[in-house]
């Protein structure tokens, strides 16, 4: 009996510390999504069965995807399947391909955390390099000619070591499926980023 009494405070502590699962049956509109600061950029080419809209967007400087369904039930069934397909990471068996067959948006990863690499096979010049070359906001895709007096120099982007799904995490809330590219810090921070977005939606 005494042992059980000693365990009770610990059980209460862990139950309070564990994050609550965010759930809702609300049907949100695209205007609801925009109202919290999500900036819609474009639509997916993929046809997601039963979805009423599918967009990629930016929120606080991070790229996210927003898949919308007529109901929360469809988001939790068809939307779950779509999210799993778009985040499918596979072992590299051919060239550098590390994404499933139905993944639409991919990113080049595997260069560590040095930064600068984009999800589309390009390299962004560092501030010091671009200032020395006299180029502002320079973005290189494959090869860029740099003219220096009478000499032409080429800057080439190294090959991509591993091409993965751009989005690696997702959350379903109401009739919405949110997907996000991973944060450089940790999966927990990525999860918190999505939760912070979700709690701002109209209730």
Domain positions in the chain are 22-87+167-198, 114-156
Q: Which of 58, 56, 69 is nearest to 106 (CA)?
A: 56
pLDDT tens digits, 120-137: 333 333 334 334 444 443
pLDDT at 137: 39
pTM of model > 0.75: no
In whole angstroms, give the CA distance from residue 129 to residue 116. 12
Query: Bigger pLDDT: 48 or 14?
Result: 48
Query: Bigger pLDDT: 150 or 32?
Result: 32
Q: Which of 182, 180, 181, 196 is nearest to 22 (CA)?
A: 196
Handedness of CA 172, 22, 193, 30 (dihedral sign): positive
Tokens of 75: 């988001």
What residues have CB less than 8 Å from 183, skipping those under 6 apart?
62, 189, 190, 193
**Mean pLDDT of the chain, nearest integer:** 77
Average pLDDT estimate for 80-85: 98
pLDDT at 159: 80
Query: 48: which DSSP letter?
Result: -
Q: Which of 180, 178, 160 is nearest to 98 (CA)?
A: 160
Q: Residue 97, class by beta-carbon neighbours within 10 Å (0-12 exposed, 13-18 middle, 19+ buried)?
A: middle
pLDDT at 40: 97
């Amino acid at each position: 009996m005494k042992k059980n009494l000693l365990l009770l405070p610990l059980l209460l502590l862990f139950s309070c510390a564990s994050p609550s699962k965010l759930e809702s049956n609300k049907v949100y509109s695209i205007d609801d999504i925009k109202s919290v600061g999500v900036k819609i950029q474009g639509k997916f080419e993929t046809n997601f069965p039963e979805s009423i809209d599918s967009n990629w967007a930016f929120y606080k400087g991070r790229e996210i995807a927003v898949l919308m369904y007529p109901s929360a039930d469809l988001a939790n069934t068809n939307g779950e399947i779509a999210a799993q397909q778009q985040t499918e990471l596979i072992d590299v068996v051919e060239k550098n391909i590390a994404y499933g067959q139905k993944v639409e948006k991919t990113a080049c990863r595997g260069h560590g955390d040095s930064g600068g690499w984009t999800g589309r096979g390009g390299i962004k010049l560092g501030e010091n390099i671009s200032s020395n070359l006299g180029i502002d906001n320079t973005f290189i895709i494959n090869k860029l000619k740099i003219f220096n007096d009478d000499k032409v120099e080429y800057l080439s982007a190294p090959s991509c070591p591993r091409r993965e799904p751009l989005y690696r995490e997702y959350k379903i809330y109401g009739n919405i499926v949110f997907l996000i590219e991973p944060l450089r810090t940790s999966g927990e921070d990525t999860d918190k980023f999505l939760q912070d977005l979700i709690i701002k939606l109209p209730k």
